[in-house]
Structure 1
């Protein structure tokens, strides 16, 4: 299937501390897994993976691949009715959903790479077409540089895509009050490998022009590292 027909949906959840999906005898965990399974019958479902973040084990990311022509949006931003997770979520948090078309498509990287870096970068919504083209070129160069590093072990994969839904989000540091987002999905052997790469000259030089245009990170979407497992 052409990659242009595959939409990737990202869902960020914060579980209650006593919810243990890894334990088949845990009531909250069973409810979480049952909710994952219920989604497989809707909206052009292809496959999905979920995992806890290394930074906070109660934070979970669920990534779903779908056929774009069969999507039916729920809760304004995604195909999954996020309200079904309410019983297992930290009541002080809100689930987040967004979707994109990734280049290249993820294939099996989510379950073959030991650690996945998820970085959501924010840029002004009102960036003009020439600036957008220059930014896209800088992002492509950054990806190529990372994958071809010689002074440190490079990542095993690197996909990225502009967030298509929602088309923009509120951001107080943007002149228009809105920001557009791009998500980076990068495969690493460990978080430590990622940290070592960030120290290299190639990484620093290639990300510099991107950082010049970036807005401050959105707290709820800050970079995270996840160990994924297949949900299907």
Structure 2
């Protein structure tokens, strides 16, 4: 049985391996996967005929005095201006951001490159899609406004399917984002057991990996609410068949990311 058959309330799901750059009974709306390689700014194992979009996710924290929701807050206006600057870059398709439900000072910004017009949602997370595989969001302006700790984390990834192709990141009221690390450099059979397929993939260093390296992937699932997602975890069949086997192979979450629920707003 596919995990989506368990997911009451799921709007979409997306799974992908991250190339990032550092610094279900209701059917899911999207699932995307990507690989991140923090050693450089290049993507890996990409077929030149593949036209999927590239997506950047930026995780950061804002101090209390920066209030983008308040139209009279000067620092909030300055913060929102960073998103507008990103929209002027070549290859920018859409972006969205929002505060995480787990920590209102934590945000995510998502930038996408599909070329389709969309509107973003709020969360302390930012996402951007790019049509240009060399385009990227600069975090220099964000660094002067965000909290110094935890550090800003920027991941560049390629979701399958793309977020735009499944109705957009705002097609679900809440988006569940989790970043999973697995031991890299293992036998193909073990890799296939975890990921259902295997190939030569980019890796990143991880202190808890027995090989010293890890494969980093991102899963995004759209839900009606975080409560509906939590309700699924109570199902023993779901935990035994899907969550248990995956968590048995997972390494600890990278600092500053991990599991988050975010309601997004388009920029």
Same fold (TM over 0.5): yes
Asked if 1:8 is matched to 2:55, the reply is: yes
Cα pair distance change 1:54/1:69, threshold 3 Å:
closer
Question: Could you say what secondary structure the match of 1:220 adopts?
Answer: coil
RMSD: 2.1
| Corresponding position of 2:248 | 212
- CA distance, structure 1, for counterparts of residue 171 and residue 221 of structure 2: 12
Whichever structure has more helix as a proportion of its residues is 1
Tell me the CA shift for residue 202 of structure 1. 3.8
| Corresponding position of 1:196 | 231
Deviations 1:42-77 (A, max 9, x none): 25111111000011111110111126662336xxxx
- Point out the more displaced range, 169-178 or 44-53: 169-178
The answer to whether the 8 A contact 2:176-2:259 is kept is yes
5+ residue gaps, structure 2, are 1-48, 115-129
Q: Moved runs in structure 1, 4+ residues, more than 6 A?
A: none
- CA distance, structure 2, for counterparts of residue 135 and residue 198 of structure 1: 20
Question: Could you say what secondary structure the match of 2:169 adopts?
Answer: helix
- CA distance, structure 1, for counterparts of residue 87 and residue 257 of structure 2: 25
Aligned equivalent of 1:185, options 220, 223, 234: 220
| Corresponding position of 1:39 | 86
Asked if 1:87 is matched to 2:144, the reply is: yes
| Corresponding position of 2:17 | none
The answer to whether the 8 A contact 1:118-1:184 is kept is yes
Asked if 1:18 is matched to 2:65, the reply is: yes
Question: Could you say what secondary structure the match of 1:172 adopts?
Answer: coil
Question: Could you say what secondary structure the match of 1:5 adopts?
Answer: coil
The answer to whether the 8 A contact 1:11-1:63 is kept is yes
- Point out the more displaced range, 20-29 or 115-124: 20-29
The answer to whether the 8 A contact 1:43-1:66 is kept is no
TM-score (normalizing by structure 2): 0.68
Tell me the CA shift for residue 3 of structure 1. 7.3
| Corresponding position of 1:230 | 266
- CA distance, structure 2, for counterparts of residue 34 and residue 88 of structure 1: 12
| Corresponding position of 1:114 | 173
Tell me the CA shift for residue 223 of structure 1. 0.4
| Corresponding position of 1:71 | 133
- CA distance, structure 1, for counterparts of residue 203 and residue 89 of structure 2: 26
Count of residue pairs brought into register by the alignment: 198
